Homo-oligomer: A and B are copies of this chain.
């Protein structure tokens, strides 16, 4: 596949030196490994190699959603790839899903969710912070996911007219306050998944879910370790991210009549 003007390209030198750029004519990029002539890559195939003015190799990679997320503009903590994959799989999100996201943040998770539900599904995302919404918009446009997302600047605790969501993904500081609101707009057996950096948030959210007709409640933490696989000296990396977040998942049960019928899980 050929690179054209307007294409996005991941300029890859090493794992720690890579840039996600948009191809434009007459663009040059100054880096500490030399100048990269962006216009020179127009017409090349993805997978090609160019060199900087300091003769360092740059590989031209077609960016994936992973790359867009890792290189997204952000002013909030993003959800990490190790967590994203599990969120999608556990919540059952796939092509065609109708997904509610509460807490757009910088849009990294939104981008990922849109990439999964497309082309037949849709993501409805809510945030109360207009600054976040602007950045999220830019990230969605860059990754070409804009058409699969509807952004709304409001607090869903004030009401929401949509219904029958397949899944709701919550990235708020106080997810337990939103449980009953989410309950109303999920379809039967629909998925609730909240991102909870602290154990206190996870605990409060679990309690709220147990008290609000949710079942299959599961709280997990995912860790990723890099392995340095090298001939005769393979070992895990010395450095590691020790924690990002807990993930808490549940599924909605239709209530029959009263709170005394609350399902008890475990």
Alpha-carbon distance between A166 and B120 when the two chains are bound, in angstroms: 21
Contacts of A218 in B (CB 8 A): 15, 226
Question: Is there a chain B Cβ closer than 8 Å to A254's Cβ?
Answer: yes
**Residues B266 and A15 in contact, CB atoms below 8 Å apart:** yes
Q: Taking the nearest CB of chain B, how far is it from the CB of A22, in angstroms?
A: 17
Q: Is A231 an interface residue (CB 8 A)?
A: yes
Residue on B nearest A87 in the bound complex, by CB: B85
* Closest residue of B by beta carbon distance from A216: B12
Copies of this protein chain in the complex: 4
Q: Is the pair B94, A115 in contact by a Cβ cutoff of 8 Å?
A: yes
Note all chain B residues with C-beta closer than 8 A to A263.
Answer: 49, 57, 59
Selected contact of A95 from candidates B95, B232, B237, B252, CB within 8 Å: B95
Contact assessment for B119 and A91 in the assembled complex, using a CB-CB cutoff below 8 Å: no
Residue of B nearest to A94 (CB): B115
Residues on B with beta carbons closer than 8 Å to the beta carbon of A94 = 65, 115-116, 118
Question: Which residues of the partner chain B approach A219 to less than 8 Å between Cβ atoms?
Answer: 226-229
CB-contact partner of A82 in B92, B191, B222, under 8 A: B222
- Mark the stretch among A132-140, A152-160, A199-207 that contacts chain B: A199-207
The reply on A84 being an interface residue by CB < 8 A is yes
Task: Report the minimal beta-carbon distance from A265 to chain B, rounded to whole angstroms.
Answer: 7
Cβ–Cβ contact B224 & A59, under 8 A: no
Cα–Cα distance between A197 and B237 once the two chains are bound (Å): 11
Would you call the interface of chain A mostly helix, strand, loop, or mixed?
mixed
- The reply to whether B203 and A252 contact each other, CB–CB distance below 8 Å, is no
Which residue of B81, B191, B252 contacts A64 across the interface (Cβ within 8 Å)?
B191
Contact call B223/A222, Cβ cutoff below 8 A: yes
- In the complex, the answer to whether B188 meets A206 with C-beta atoms within 8 Å is no
Q: Is the CB of A199 within 8 A of B234?
A: yes
Interface readout for A137-175 with B: 1 if CB under 8 Å, 0 if not?
A: 000000000000000000000000000000000000000
Question: Is A48's CB under 8 angstroms from B240's CB?
Answer: no
A97 to B240, CA, bound (A): 31
Compute how far the CA of A233 lies from the CA of B236 in the bound complex, rounded to whole angstroms: 16
- Give Cα distance in the complex from A219 to B15, angstroms: 12
- Chain A positions within 8 Å of B, measured between CB atoms, are 1, 12, 14-15, 45-49, 57, 59-62, 64-67, 81-82, 84-92, 94-95, 112, 115-116, 118-120, 187-191, 197-200, 202-203, 205-207, 215-244, 246, 248, 251-254, 256, 261, 263, 265-266
